[in-house]
Amino acid sequence: MTKTKILTLPFLFLLPSCALFDDTDPRELAEPLEQCLARFGDLKAELADDASNVQATPILTFDITKLSLGEIQELVKPGSDDTAGQRLMQQTNETGTAVQLFKTEPVDENGSFFLGRDPALYRVRTDPVWPRDAVEAACEMQKAGMRLIDINVAHNITIEPAPETDDTGTLDETQN
């Protein structure tokens, strides 16, 4: 081996460690659906076994720190609570505690925002879905710049099975 090859060899081993210096925030990128589903794989597997006739209204929490102001404004709907985070910060004055409280606050389909700090969060209650479909529906709501960080599935809408009918299409008389 020549002297140049010997000096170059240690530097080749350092190249893979350059990724340690990558300061790209994964929240800035669009996460592929498959990757999101993999992150919530345990919950998806747990919900896939739910054979009940009860739909769920998931409450989703997104980290929206990397969204632009215009993109955040697109999420705001009439009736959205855009001051929830500010109120909680005034109560606790500690971001970690305020975030935990924010995640337990009631939320509706208009959404609620925790803004002005890192992380900036958006919580929203979705339309009813079958539990087995909740994770995929949640992951599909993600956009570039926002990251799904929590899915809270609440079972609360019972779907009554259709009454049984006989071959003629009339109701079975044993049904009352």
- pLDDT for residue 175: 47
Stretches where the chain sits below pLDDT 50 are 8-19, 158-162, 172-176
- pLDDT for residue 9: 46
Extract the tokens encoding 54: 């009860």
- pLDDT for residue 118: 78
Tell me the pTM: 0.70
Number of H helices, E strands in the chain: 7, 6
* Residue 63 to residue 96: CA distance in whole angstroms: 14
- pLDDT for residue 164: 53
- 173-to-161, 167, 168 alpha-carbon distances in Å: 16, 13, 12
DSSP string over 61-124: EEE-TTS-HHHHHHH--TT-BTTHHHHHHHHH--HHHHHHHHHHS---TT-EEE-SSSS-EEEE
